Amino acid sequence: MQFALSVGSFSPTLRVALTTGLLGGFTTYSSFNYETLEYFQEGAWRAGCLNLSVTVASCLVAGMLGSGPAGC
């Protein structure tokens, strides 16, 4: 983001897309990764596996619903 602002050749729309889309995805993934690994490191294997399973299943279902009738 700092580079995009200093160079000035990035449009405001592209800056928003990069910061909310790309960087937002990294923070979401890192939070999921941190929480799941924390469960495993604490020995809470059920909670870690449940977090992993529910998150992946929810993402797949959301993807199918988002793709419309052809995806279901």
Instruction: Give the tens place of pLDDT for each residue, 34-66.
Output: 999 999 999 999 999 999 999 999 989 988 888
- Both tokens of 29, joined, read 């993934």
**Domains held by the chain: number:** 1
- The tokens describing 69, both together, are 């009738």
Rounded to whole angstroms, the Cα distance separating 57 from 44 reads: 20
5 near 15, Cβ under 8 Å? yes
Contact 51, 39 (CB under 8 A): yes
- Domain boundaries, position 52: 2-71
Q: What is the pTM of this model?
A: 0.61
What digits encode the pLDDT tens for the residues 4-18? 777 778 888 887 777
